Structure 1
């Protein structure tokens, strides 16, 4: 039985260290199985969660030992996984998040031999035994994160040769054994190979885009937010670019559109220990006029403990993204908050968001993620909330938690 450091409206159900591969990042759940991308373990963990009180790892799909596969998507009995050179193993935390350079993948060896770079497709008709059926290699260092809900096109952040950092690419999934890139978009200044020069300092790089109604809401770390029209996947078209860094601290990571309410929730990731950067925020935008998004509120900062004096990375990370088939709400927002665990907010009044639940796991007993400047504090990473309110939550070090949302 796991005893949290604090909990409100969320109860513990089950936990697994994933067979010693506790370094979980993104999690997807499909047909009674959780698929968890990892960094240090270099592969995807498959866990049988049909009995959520006793989750049981049943498979592991390894990738190249110099690449990571932190992010993945499931739909239509398929699993899409990114593969990218693990730059975090080569850089400090501050250097990884602090700046960009023109990408030349050859400096890291031969792609396909010294590292893998692209997107792998698995058939998960047998959910416990994924079968690799396709791979899309990219000319660069790989992909970081994907958005795909089963339609014709997937949307990924790609670190390609000649660019200063990750840009948006659109992938045609008509034949999942042979996915192909059909479009791309970047912020002017990123295409160094074409002679473009960044007009900024710091790291402007696409983390990922969430797409709804042919509009892509893309988060660009210190480059803020772009809203793109992607009706024509070959030629995404900019609607608006907004950036609030500076004066705020950047790290724009996840954007959740709530089109039925003309709202957008945007989380800025805490990327360093809290004593090394300013407090990061999760913003609520009014997007009634897509070319003119207006920030109207921020989510409350957790205050059930003194997380600042505790140290470590204290601030937003991921949002539950209201995927088809999952728990969907335009008023209840689920988020991971790194050292502060899982947080739940109610935005029925979007001008006055209120915290309505939290679960703070105990500190890990085994450290999987190399520290490299990161303090030894829990790091609640990602979550997937099922229709019945079961919450599947990962940690950089402590494996997979299964929790129950008890609120309304």
Structure 2
């Protein structure tokens, strides 16, 4: 039985250490099975969660041993999984998050042999046994994260040869055995091979974009937020670019649009220990006029215990992204806060967000993720909230937690 360090309106249901592979990052749930991308284990964990009180690991799908595979998407009985050379294996956290520069992919060896770079497609009609059916290689270090909710087009962040860091690419999924790139967009200054020169010193890199109604909301780490018109998949067009770094600390991670209310929720990721960087925030934007997004509020910082004194990475990481078929709400927002676990916020009044629930798991008993300067503190990483309010949350070290939302 897991005893949380604290909870409110979120009840513990089940937990698994994923058969000893506890290094979980992104999680998707499909046909009663959870798919978790890993960073250290170099593969995809498949867990039967049909009984959420007793989740059972049923498969491990290995990927390239020198590439990370931590992000994935599932829709239409297909699973898309990223493959990217493990830059963190050669860089400190400060180097990785500290700034962009054109990376020579040859430093990592021969693409396709020494590392994999691209997107793998699996058939998951048999949910416990993903079957590889396709792969799209990219010329560079790989893909970091994907947005795909079914349909013809997927959107990914890719670190391609010639660019200073990850840019947006549009992928045609008409034939899932042969996905292909059909469009791309980057912040001017990123295409070093074409002679472009950055006007910044921070890290401008697309973490990923969420696409709704042919608008792509891109999170660019220290480069802030972009809103793009992607009706023409071959030629995305910039509508707005806003950046608040500096004076704020950057690390913009994901931006969740709530089109029915003309709102956008944007999380800035805490990437270092709290004593190494300023507090990060989750912002609420008014996007009634998409060419002029305006920040109108920030989510409250968790205060049920002294997380700053506790140390470690304290701040936002990921938001539940309101995928079709999952929990969809324009007033209750779920987020992971790393050392502060899972948080629930009410933005019924978007000018005064309130925290209305939380679940803080115990400290891990086994440390999977290489520390590389990270303090030994729990790291609640990603989450998926099902339509029935079951919350699936991963930890860098401790596997998969399942909880039940019991709020209003």
Q: CA deviation at 1:64?
A: 1.1
Distance 1:101 1:292 in 2: 30
Runs of 4+ in 1 over 4 A off after TM superposition: none
SS in 2 for 1:95: helix
Please say which of residues 84-93 and 345-354 is displaced more in the overlay. 84-93
Spell out the pairing of 1:263-278 with structure 2 (5 A cutoff). Answer: 263-278=263-278
- Distance, in Å, in 1 between the alignment partners of 2:213 and 2:393 is 28
Q: Find the counterpart in structure 2 of residue 168 from structure 1.
A: 168
Give the drift of 1:104: 2.1
TM-score, reference length from structure 1: 1.00
Instruction: Answer yes or no: is 1:393 the counterpart of 2:393.
Output: yes
Greater mean alpha carbon deviation, residues 142-151 or residues 105-114 = 105-114
Residue matched to 2:359: 359
Q: Give the 5 Å matches for 1:179-194.
A: 179-194=179-194
Match of 2:141? Answer: 141
Partner of residue 208, structure 1: 208
Cα distance in 1 for residues equivalent to 2:144 and 2:371:
21
Q: Distance in 2 between matches of 1:42 and 1:147?
A: 21
Q: How many angstroms apart in 1 are the aligned matches of 2:43 and 2:190?
A: 30
CA distance in 1, matches of 2:294, 2:78: 37
Q: CA offsets per residue over residues 186-231 of structure 1, 9 Å max, x none?
A: 0000000000000001100000000000000000000000000000
**C-alpha distance in 2, partners of 1:4/1:200?**
42
- Give per-residue Cα distances to partners, 1:339-367, cap 9 Å, x unaligned: 00000000000000000000000000000
2:306 maps to 306
Partner of 2:290: 290
Tell me the residue number matched to 2:21.
Answer: 21
Structure 1 match to 2:376: 376
1:234 aligns with 2:238: no
* Structure 2 residue ranges without an equivalent (≥5): none
Q: Distance in 1 between matches of 2:52 and 2:89?
A: 33
Greater Cα offset, 92-101 or 398-407: 92-101
**TM-superposed deviation, 1:237:** 0.2
Query: In structure 1, what is the Cα distance between the partners aligned to 2:353 and 2:32?
Result: 33
Q: Aligned to 1:271, what secondary structure does the other structure show?
A: coil
Q: How does the TM-score come out when normalised to structure 2?
A: 1.00
Q: Deviations over 1:145-202 (max 9, x none)?
A: 0000001100000000000000000000000000000000000000000000000011
Shift of the alpha carbon at 1:105? 1.1
After TM superposition, give the deviation of residue 130 of structure 1 in Å. Answer: 0.4
Q: CA RMSD in A?
A: 0.4
Rounded to whole Å, the distance in 2 between the matches of 1:269 and 1:89 is 20
Q: What secondary structure, in the 3-state scheme, does the structure 2 residue paired with 1:183 have?
A: strand
Q: Aligned partners of 1:100 and 1:61: how far apart in 2?
A: 32
Which residue number corresponds to residue 38 of structure 2? 38
Q: Within 2, Cα distance between the matches of 1:93 and 1:21?
A: 22
Deviation at 1:103, TM superposition (A): 2.5
Residue of structure 2 equivalent to 1:119? 119
Q: Take 2:336 and 2:219, find their aligned partners in 1: how far apart are those partners? A: 17
Q: 2-side partners of 1:342 and 1:370: how far apart?
A: 22
Residue 113 of structure 2 aligns to a residue in which SS? Answer: coil
Q: Separation in 1 of the partners of 2:85 and 2:241?
A: 29
Q: Per-residue displacement from partner, 1:220-247 (whole Å, max 9, x unpaired)? A: 0000000000000000000000000000
Corresponding residue for 1:334? 334
- 1:195 maps to 195
Matched residue SS, 1:309: helix
Mapped to 2, the partners of 1:134 and 1:407 lie a distance apart of 42
Rounded to whole Å, the distance in 1 between the matches of 2:88 and 2:369 is 10
Residues 42-65 of structure 1: per-residue CA shift (max 9 Å, x gap): 000000000000000001111111
Structure 2 residue matching 1:145: 3-state secondary structure: strand
Q: What secondary structure, in the 3-state scheme, does the structure 2 residue paired with 1:135 have? A: strand
How many residues are matched?
Answer: 408
The CA deviation at 1:390 is 0.4
Q: Distance in 1 between matches of 2:176 and 2:101?
A: 32
Match of 1:315 in 2: 315
- Deviation of 1:107 (Å): 2.1
Question: How many Å apart are 1:80 and its aligned residue?
Answer: 0.1
SS in 2 for 1:82: strand
Q: CA deviation at 1:89?
A: 1.3
Shift of residue 31, structure 1, vs aligned partner: 0.3
